[in-house]
Amino acid sequence: GNSVTQMEGPVTLSEEAFLTINCTYTATGYPSLFWYVQYPGEGLQLLLKATKADDKGSNKGFEATYRKETTSFHLEKGSVQVSDSAVYFCALSDLRFFSGGYNKLIFGAGTRLAVHP
């Protein structure tokens, strides 16, 4: 079945360091891929998405490229800030459900990022 695998955390970085959070997926067809962010005690916010191979999603300095050949969607940021400390979830949309109007998202386990001054 469809699945998403993220690198285990926590990831601990100093401010202004480069960030990479790895995400790989298993899916049939061509799912859309997402990164969501969850700040402490809050719900999930959509960070970025990509809907087809070679698409690059970007937002707030974060980027991720849909790589079908390596089934990956790694999240990157060139210079992290303390305010980026959160849990990051990679997800894909399960197209087996999509045609019926439902959109089932398959989530990875999440990667906690801690950025220190």
Partner 1 sequence: DGGITQSPKYLFRKEGQNVTLSCEQNLNHDAMYWYRQDPGQGLRLIYYSQIVNDFQKGDIAEGYSVSREKKESFPLTVTSAQKNPTAFYLCASSILAGGINPDTQYFGPGTRLTVL
User: Which residues would be at the binding site for partner 1 (CB under 8 A)?
Assistant: 4, 32, 34, 36, 41-46, 49, 51, 89, 91, 93, 98-105, 107-110
Please, what is the minimum distance in Å from the beta carbon of residue 2 to partner 1? 12
**Tokens at 28, concatenated:** 């049939």
DSSP letter for each residue of 74-98: -EEESS--GGG-EEEEEEEEEHHHH
Please, what is the minimum distance in Å from the beta carbon of residue 103 to partner 1? 5
Please, what is the minimum distance in Å from the beta carbon of residue 63 to partner 1? 18
Sign of CA dihedral 25, 57, 59, 18: positive
